[in-house]
Amino acid sequence: MSPKTRRIGYARVSTLRQDLERQLRALKRHGCDLVFSDKASGKTVAGRPDLEAALSQLDEGDEFVIAEWDRATRSMWDGLQIIKRVIESKAVIRVLDRSYIDLSTPMGQGFMALFSAMAEDERQRIIKRTHEGRQVARDRGVKMGRKPKLNAKQVAEIRQRLANGEKTRDLADSYGVSRSTIARVGA
> Which residues carry out catalysis?
14
User: Strand 34-39 vs strand 63-66: parallel, antiparallel, or unpaired?
Assistant: unpaired
User: Strand 34-39 vs strand 92-95: parallel, antiparallel, or unpaired?
Assistant: unpaired
Task: Yes or no: say if 119 and 69 are a contact pair by the CB < 8 Å rule.
Answer: yes
Nearest CA to 61 out of 30, 44, 86 is that of 86
SS3 69: helix
Q: Cα–Cα distance between 64 and 67 in angstroms, integer?
A: 10
**DSSP classification of residue 18:** S
CA dist list (Å): 28 to 9, 13, 24, 113, 181? 8, 17, 6, 26, 52
* Residue 94, beta-bridge partner list: 65
Task: Quickly count: other Cβ atoms within 10 Å of residue 10's Cβ.
Answer: 27
Task: Yes or no: say if 11 and 71 are a contact pair by the CB < 8 Å rule.
Answer: yes
Task: Quickly count: other Cβ atoms within 10 Å of residue 70's Cβ.
Answer: 19
